[in-house]
Chains A and B, each alone.
Chain A
């Protein structure tokens, strides 16, 4: 296991330097040296911004002659589509990358479910690519080229999700009449407030669930006077806001007599 490959970017190009054990045995041919770049037998080390070299050709093997205890070295690059995590080579090193407008909900509504399914994964892979670029720029402390692409992708994905939800809602309303996808109920909490309690999925029925039985969906009797006080406070605050708004309107009318009477 004494093999360490280091890559040093010299002015001529990257040169593989191996540990002393293999140095004499290993001869790098000049033609290979011209094409060499990152080894991908560890993680993919290609840096699109500083080092503008392509990934290693998949046919590059280095067979080392046996010298002493040296083992035959065979490195093949397993490149199973990792290039999709990075931008196309034309965009490497650019400061800005051109990108089109995001998908609108109106355009997405005309597409079939299969198309939307495929588009989702296309957008997801693009998003992963952009996030990789963003992380790499943070690591190298340079500006990410065209960060608005991420926003566009996120908006497109959000709109796609909205369209799919709309279609699901329509089918559910037609077939069952249920307005909500997730069941729930209006319940009173310990403080006397009525709220929409959303159900959760459980493996046990409620009468066997100890934690659920400890929750109180009723108001104890000693809380009722405090409910009235809370209501009074709320009404006082509401009236205060309304009065302030009215005073503000009169002050504005004085200052700007030409103003139209209505203003939000």
Chain B
């Protein structure tokens, strides 16, 4: 048992308490270069936002309130909750060379810089102006974002799965169980354990009894 615990500890990556998370994922080479194991960087204070209060999701349209591209609206491409960051598509960009070799100067591309949540504001879908948003419950009990200025509901953006599967258009493969079979209820509660029930069904009779053992 202890061996599996050790293996699982090695499998999941462990980071120090004051690890500075960046835009690249921690297991990539770029992140490893920025945060080598012994390096201590100046602490970044992140405003703690509770999990239930988070209002910006991937695919939302938001407006920038301060910075280079102030007043522009864009779609959220990536959200980093550990640093309260948001990356918009094509906005707040700076330019850099990528794929530089010894003789080739590299491709000049525009790369987006992350924006803090505080400099971002959700956009009301009706009048397309930035608003403050609060979480409220509807009549049905659903939790929705409501803009405080107009009172309209800001709908949640359509969530696309990372593997590209759309559940409504899924076709079962040969090894998949059909939805009817999955939801079919075959369980009747009884005071028999699984072993006893299976032995009954298969007609196995076990007249032998275990030898007396001592538990201490």
Contacts and interface: CB of A to CB of B under 8 A. Distances in A.
- A and B: bona fide binding partners: yes
Interface of A: 88, 98-100, 103, 107, 109-117, 126, 148, 164, 167-168, 171, 174-175, 183, 199-206, 212, 251-252, 255-256, 259-260, 263-264
9 contacts: A100-B170, A100-B175, A100-B177, A112-B187, A148-B163, A167-B194, A199-B215, A203-B213, A251-B45
Quick one: which of A100, A167, A199 has the most chain B CB within 10 A?
A100
Contact of B187 (A98, A109, A126, A200): A109
A201 B213 contact: yes
A255 B45 contact: yes
Interface in B172-216: 172-177, 182-188, 191-194, 197-198, 201, 211, 213-216
B103 interface: no
A256 B215 CA distance: 59
Given A99-B176, A252-B48, 15 more contacts: A100-B170, A100-B172, A110-B186, A171-B192, A174-B191, A199-B215, A201-B214, A202-B215, A203-B213, A206-B214, A252-B47, A255-B47, A259-B47, A260-B50, A263-B50
Interface in B39-93: 45, 47-48, 50, 53
Interface of B: 45, 47-48, 50, 53, 163, 170, 172-177, 182-188, 191-194, 197-198, 201, 211, 213-216
Which 4 residue pairs are nearest across A and B when measured between Cβ atoms?
A263-B48, A100-B176, A112-B186, A113-B194
B197 A113 contact: yes
Contacts, number: 88
B196 to A, nearest CB: 9
Contacts of B170: 100
A126 B214 contact: no
Contacts of B211: 203
Nearest to A203: B213
A210 to B, nearest CB: 14
Given A117-B198, A168-B194, A98 B173 contact: yes
Given A99-B175, A113-B198, A114-B198, A200 B184 contact: no
Nearest to A149: B175
Nearest to A104: B182
B184 to A, nearest CB: 7
Contacts of B175: 99-100, 126
Contact of A110 (B172, B176, B187, B192): B187
Contacts of B50: 260, 263-264
Nearest to B215: A199
Contacts of A205: 214
A204 B211 CA distance: 11
B214 A112 contact: no
Contacts of B192: 113, 171
Contact of B216 (A112, A175, A212, A252): A212
Contacts of B214: 201-206
Contacts of A203: 211, 213-214
B47 A256 contact: yes
Contacts of A168: 193-194
A260 B192 CA distance: 53
Contact of B191 (A100, A109, A171, A212): A171
A111 B198 contact: no
Contacts of B191: 171, 174-175
Nearest to B200: A114
B72 to A, nearest CB: 24
A117 B194 CA distance: 8
B48 to A, nearest CB: 4
A174 to B, nearest CB: 7
B53 to A, nearest CB: 8
A75 to B, nearest CB: 32
A252 B213 contact: no
Nearest to A208: B214
B10 to A, nearest CB: 17
Given A110-B183, A114-B197, A259 B172 contact: no
